[in-house]
Amino acid sequence: MKRFVWRLQTVLDIKTKEEEARRTELLEIIEKLAEAQGELLSQQRILEDIISVITGKKSQERLGEQEFFLKCSVTIDEVIKKLKNKVIELKSQQREKIAEVLKVRRLKEGLERLRAEAKKEFIREQEKLEQKEQDEGAIISFSRKKLMIE
């Protein structure tokens, strides 16, 4: 029997590799996003802890620490703002990558369906050819037997 060869197999292989590459990129973005969100939560927690420590102290001790905290809080707020912007940017990149992965996957699945249909058709054609050969062989052997009998 003839071997099945599909002309678009290289395209399917390329799309499969492309999907894997896009998935890898998506995972990298997700890791960066998780890292940025963790850092953001850490900075916010540190800020809340400092505030709770300061509010628990007596008013005389608290005044000096509050002044120092207010000077430092500007830089901490800037860090938090930068982290929030980074998280927003990474989320948008994540959405874009998900859309790209889904687009490539849909195309790949379409190609796989076409390949399956082409393979079924190929098998059907091969079975028809085999049946035709068997029929011809039966006719030839029948004709020979008949000629030998007469």
pLDDT in tens, 75-99: 888 989 999 999 999 999 999 999 9
- Looking at the structure of the chain, the number of domains it has is 1
- 103 within domain boundaries: yes
Residue 142 has pLDDT above 80, yes or no: yes
Instruction: For residues 126 and 133, give the distance between their C-alpha atoms in angstroms, rounded to a whole number.
Output: 10
Domain holding 122: CATH number? 1.10.287.1700
- 138 within domain boundaries: yes
Enclosing domain of residue 93: 9-149
- 107 within domain boundaries: yes
- 112 within domain boundaries: yes
- The pTM is what? 0.73
Instruction: For residues 8 and 112, give the distance between their C-alpha atoms in angstroms, rounded to a whole number.
Output: 10
**pLDDT of amino acid 133:** 93
- 61 within domain boundaries: yes
- 17 within domain boundaries: yes
Mean pLDDT confidence for 33-49:
92
Under a CB-based contact definition with an 8 Å cutoff, are residues 50 and 69 in contact? yes
- 48 within domain boundaries: yes
CA 117, chain centre distance (Å) = 26
**pLDDT of amino acid 74:** 84
- 1 within domain boundaries: no
